[in-house]
Amino acid sequence: DWTPAAFVQETVEKIKAQVGDKKVVMALSGGVDSTVAAELIHKAIGSNLYCIFVDNGLLRKDEFETVLDSYKHMGLNVKGVNAKDLFYGELAGVSDPEKKRKIIGRLFIEVFQQEATLLQNISFLGQGTIYPDVIESVSVNGPSVTIKSHHNVGGLPEKMNMGLVEPLRFLFKDEVRRVGREIGISEIFLGRHPFPGPGLAIRILGEITADKVAMLQEADSIYIEGLREHGLYDKVWQAGTILLPVQSVGVMGDERTYEFTVALRAVTSVDGMTADWAHLPYEFLAQMSNDIINKVKGINRVVYDISSKPPATIEWE
Ligand code: XMP
């Protein structure tokens, strides 16, 4: 019988045997998988695990600082790398969704490789790959059409020529959460909604600017906090806000406004492959609309996305 306790014990022994007194480098994303994987490796080899957490400027409001802090409290040997300007610079003027993904993926690998080279004598690359990623990357290379070129930390192994340490390779998401609970990882990590690797870049339709990121971070923070306060966060599988590339007319006091629209998205799902739009209470939506329009400068309209997947996708890009 599979139990988290037995899995942890066995996995820690395996990592010790594989790695010995060599060093491992690993990218953290703030998500469940990389966090649990890092803690398992850390349990096995301690400070011989070197973690890198990159700020691509496309994370949620205050997320980089908060998550970096939590990692440090967990005892991880982690370096935060501020690469915002690099990402904003290369994304300037780009509106095509697939181009954005490719740029972000490439820059991430560049930054990570550069940081890894600064560390001496690294022999292994740690990764939070889970079983569905293994299956997905097989089908991605098959003859099927690419709908969205997903990447988390994919692409790293081939380029880095290092051994791989992937303690979660045969686990499903719910098992990863159970393992995380077993080793004392905070519910704040374990209960988090999925968040795409390219982050807010694929929730800002069209061109990305630092101002638009800041605007969307504010709206997103109001919405996510609102979901938590109303006890709705755990009832939906994923939620977020999307900044639309249209401006429309509104009125504020006696002034005419001409500002952006934010779409709210919330879905129920089991695995993200199919999803239904969440039937959030009208009163909640009304309050979110009010709060966002009143508090976020540059937004004068809020809409709710009532499309399910398929035929829509969860993200808008
Ligand atoms: P879609 O939009 O395809 O999203 O219905 C399904 C799930 O995948 C996430 N997603 C991504 N995750 N890199 C990622 O790491 C990506 O490029 C990417 N695109 C979508 C999305 O947030 C949802 O959970």
pLDDT tens-digit readout, 159-197? 677 899 999 999 999 999 999 999 999 998 999 999 999
Q: How far is the CA of 93 from the centre of ligand 1 (A)?
A: 23
CATH number of the domain within which 55 lies: 3.40.50.620
Residue that terminates a domain, selected from 190, 221, 251 = 190
Contact (CB, 8 A) for 21 and 119 = no
CATH number of the domain within which 245 lies: 3.30.300.10
Which structural domain, as residue segments, surrounds residue 234?
209-304
Model pLDDT, residue 151: 53
Degrees (nearest 5) of the Cα angle 17, 9, 29? 85
Q: How far is the CA of 272 from the centre of ligand 1 (A)?
A: 8
Model pLDDT, residue 264: 99
For residue 233, the tally of other CB atoms under 10 A from its CB is 17
Q: What is the ipTM for the molecules in this complex?
A: 0.99
Return d(Cα 182, Cα 191) in angstroms, integer.
14
Quick one: 62 and 140 in the same domain? yes
Numbered residues of the known binding site: 29-35
| Ligand 1 atom nearest residue 313's Cα | 5
Model pLDDT, residue 133: 84
Residue that terminates a domain, selected from 190, 218, 243 = 190
Numbered residues of the known binding site for ATP: 29-35
Tokens of 88: 């904003």
The backbone torsions φ and ψ at residue 11, rounded to the nearest 5 degrees and listed phi first, read: -70, -40
Return d(Cα 36, Cα 156) in angstroms, integer.
19
Among 73-87, 148-162, 208-222, the range scoring the smallest mean pLDDT is: 148-162
Quick one: 11 and 52 in the same domain? yes
Q: How far is the CA of 198 from the centre of ligand 1 (A)?
A: 9
What residues line ligand 1, using a CB cutoff of 6 Å? 101, 148, 150-152, 194, 196-198, 238, 272, 309, 313-315
Q: How far is the CA of 284 from the centre of ligand 1 (A)?
A: 26
| Ligand 1 atom nearest residue 275's Cα | 5
Over residues 102-109, the mean pLDDT reads 96
